A and B are shown apart, each in its own frame.
Chain A
Amino acid sequence: GAVVSQHPSRVICKSGTSVKIECRSLDFQATTMFWYRQFPKQSLMLMATSNEGSKATYEQGVEKDKFLINHASLTLSTLTVTSAHPEDSSFYICSATQGASETQYFGPGTRLLVL
């Protein structure tokens, strides 16, 4: 089956620093990738949708200047949390799909802790 990886799996950083999370589709080309955030005991919340070669579409309430998304190739998307603060601590999950109406394949998630 299709495999999506994320790196790192866990990251701890100081407040004010930036953190980059990578999402890779290992055995297929992902035309669309999604970024979700999950707080403890809450559901996954879609943050943004990115299509290869174009700007990401952010959900309402998600700061695009704070959560920078780049989808430069068909197998890699990155999420950069800029000037991270403790309230950004969360579980970030990406998913990828080969096209419209196709199944989303999810990565294992990245746990971010901002001190």
Chain B
Amino acid sequence: RKEVEQDPGPFNVPEGATVAFNCTYSNSASQSFFWYRQDCRKEPKLLMSVYSSGNEDGRFTAQLNRASQYISLLIRDSKLSDSATYLCAVIVNSGNTPLVFGKGTRLSVIA
């Protein structure tokens, strides 16, 4: 089983829709969780961290489910500009270890 898995999509949704992605991780000792956004031919950019209590930033909500070992990203009122690939990233062990990335979920928001 891969350490971090995502549905590659694509998710094609109309403007204004609510869309949610999940990302599962295999190591129960994973400590820190993040969502990145990557536009075509650009570098990944940190979107938000995922805390145990959840994290909301405008239309974006990230949640962590430790029991089922997944994190989620919810986007409300989708905009055309939300079209991108969304990568989840996990710190697998405690301490200063590198991020492990999922392969990303492609989102296309359609007018």
Q: State whether these chains interact.
A: no
